[in-house]
Amino acid sequence: MSFLISYEIGLTPLYDMLSFIYSILLYTGIMFPLGLAVAVTGRKLFSLGDRFSISRVLLARGARNIFRSLPLWISYAIFMGAFVGIKKALPFLHDEQFPFDRWLADVDRFLFGIDPWELAHALLPASIFLNALELNYYFVWFATMFACIFYFGSSATPRDLRQRFYLVSCVTWIICGNFLAGLLLSAGPIFYGEVTGDNARFAEMLGLVAGEAGGYSTLAIKNYLWDLHVSGASGLGNGISAFPSLHVGISTVNWLFIREVFPRLGIIVGINVLVIWFSSVYLGWHYAIDGIVSIGFALAIYWFARYFSARHVRYAGKEV
């Protein structure tokens, strides 16, 4: 699909195919080793009682179940490769690559009275909280996502739960990250100057989140993503779009399914959904409305899948 879209909009088909293959290899290379590492180290590092024991739940069927799940992870990686290819192509589907940033920024200001980042930084000064929020947004989020992909693919969870997790996850990526992102394509406050020419509106916020320009700082990641966008190169996380927030949407999906298995842990993960939403505004990656819409769609997709799954089970029971 990404290959065909690139062909239609005039991108080099061979290059996009290579980019697609690169994305597949990249995501497969991350998911499987990370999941295997969790399995190997989980027994010693994490034990939260019998119900939460990683060795009991995560490794319930042993290493055999892990390798049996490899085709599922590869399929998911192929899906992610296609997703990234389409996401990269979205700016080229519009005459103006990111036409909705001004509108979304104005919606935020209308809803909150001022730009929401001002409220966020007034609540938590960057000089104290910036590094902690970056750590959670850039590392804890990815660790949680890959842990859920690994857990629901390899553990002894019910088949229905496993199928619903992957279905809801993929549909959320598609609807939020491709369809809605393409309809209201925006780059986010952090790229507002680059895409609108108005460098003043979010200049103060950029100064607050600049911090130390290390390899994993917000400023460094911003420059990395913009360089990928301008050059058309492939890399981890490439493809710029703000509305709606996949960071928030996928966090919501993870929370909904974690709470089905671990209700107490679900409370912590649920709180972190709000922290991720707050951080997305605080760090400048998203407008506040981006996260609000993502949460709404993730909830709708989840309950839609759960409703039809329950109906399927009832009908199957009647047939028996």
Tokens of 273: 């959904």
CA distances from 96 to 100, 116, 192, 196, 198 (A): 9, 25, 14, 10, 15
- Please answer whether residues 277 and 228 qualify as being in contact, where contact means their C-beta atoms are separated by less than 8 angstroms: no
Burial 202-216 (b: 16+ CB within 10 A, else e): beebbebbebeeeee
DSSP assigned state of 37: H
Averaged pLDDT of the chain: 80
The whole model's pTM is what? 0.81
The 10 Å Cβ neighbour count of residue 102 is: 15
Distance CA 171, CA 209 (A): 32
Report how far residue 76's alpha carbon sits from residue 83's, in angstroms, rounded to the nearest whole number: 10
Structural contact between residues 105 and 118, judged by C-beta atoms closer than 8 angstroms:
no
Most distant CA pair in the chain: distance in Å? 66
Per-residue pLDDT of the chain (320 residues; tens, 9 = 90+): 444 444 444 444 444 455 555 555 555 555 556 555 555 554 444 444 444 444 554 454 555 666 667 777 778 877 887 888 788 888 777 777 899 999 999 999 999 999 999 999 999 998 889 999 999 999 999 888 888 888 887 766 777 888 899 999 999 999 999 999 999 999 999 999 999 999 999 999 999 998 655 556 898 889 888 888 887 766 666 778 899 999 999 999 999 999 999 899 999 999 999 999 999 999 999 999 999 999 999 999 999 998 887 665 555 445 44
Question: What pLDDT is recorded for position 32?
Answer: 58
What are the φ and ψ backbone dihedral angles of 25, each rounded to 5 degrees? -65, -40
Helix, strand and coil percent figures for the chain, each rounded to 5: 75, 0, 25
Tens digits of residue pLDDT in 276-319: 999 999 999 999 999 999 999 999 999 999 888 766 555 544 54
Q: Is 89 helix (H, G, I), strand (E, B) or coil?
A: helix
Cβ-based neighbours of 220, under 8 Å, separated by 6 or more: 213, 214
